[in-house]
Amino acid sequence: MNKALSMILVLAAVAGFSGAASAQDAKAGEKKAAMCIGCHGIPGYQASFPEIHKVPMISGQSGKYIVAALNAYKKGERKHPTMKGIAASLTDQDMADLGAFYETHGGPAKNADAPAPTPPAQVAELLKKGNCASCHGENLNKPIDPSYPKLAGQHADYLYVALKAYQTENNSRWAAPTPSWPAWPSLSAMPS
């Protein structure tokens, strides 16, 4: 089996494990989301770590990805201090409920079938080079696995910070990057 495929299977297994605690309950998640809306519910609200960027939109993101991300903060694979603190206080059931709630909550990135706008030539080149659509979907909003994020419609400055975090050594949000995965395009070529 090639490395990328085995990594995907590992990721899928991890996501399946954490989500398996018990059935998700979107109604219960709605109540629990009271502690999230202070940051994720304010349009344009900005975070200041590791640099100033907008808090990512999570409404309409897939529930499995939300659970995977929360687990990564809880385990320390993702370093953001505030989210680490918040995730540490959540049980598997809380995460499953929150994922179920946000998945159905609507928001800009939410129609997984909407066609993506045509990117400028330079961006199209980077997307091709990184083979981004092979995982995130043709329109970048229909990932091949629900534990992968939808990207289209997300705040540009958050996506930039997220990509930089993967690139920084010892700050990888991917637990175990595999050499066979596509090389990331040079960040100097990215619009900031």
Residues that bind ligand HEC (CB under 6 A): 4, 35-36, 38-40, 47, 55-56, 58, 66, 68-70, 72, 78, 80, 82-83, 86, 98, 130-132, 134-136, 148-149, 151, 154, 159, 161-163, 173-174, 181-182, 185
Label residue 44 exposed, middle or buried (CB < 10 Å: 0-12, 13-18, 19+): exposed
Nearest 5°: the CA angle 105, 158, 53 is 110
Distance CA 97, CA 101 (A): 6
Residue 72: CB minimum distance to ligand HEC, A: 6
Closer residue to ligand HEC in complex, CB, 38/120:
38
Tokens 């494990």 map to which residue?
17
Residue ranges with strand state E in 32-151: 46-47, 53-54
Residue 113: CB minimum distance to ligand HEC, A: 19
DSSP state of 150: P
Closer residue to ligand HEC in complex, CB, 114/172:
172
Closer residue to ligand HEC in complex, CB, 26/55:
55
Residue 20: CB minimum distance to ligand HEC, A: 18
Residue 109: CB minimum distance to ligand HEC, A: 9
Under 8 Å between Cβ of 150 and 143:
yes
**Closest CB to ligand HEC belongs to which residue?**
130
Tokens 């990805």 map to which residue?
65
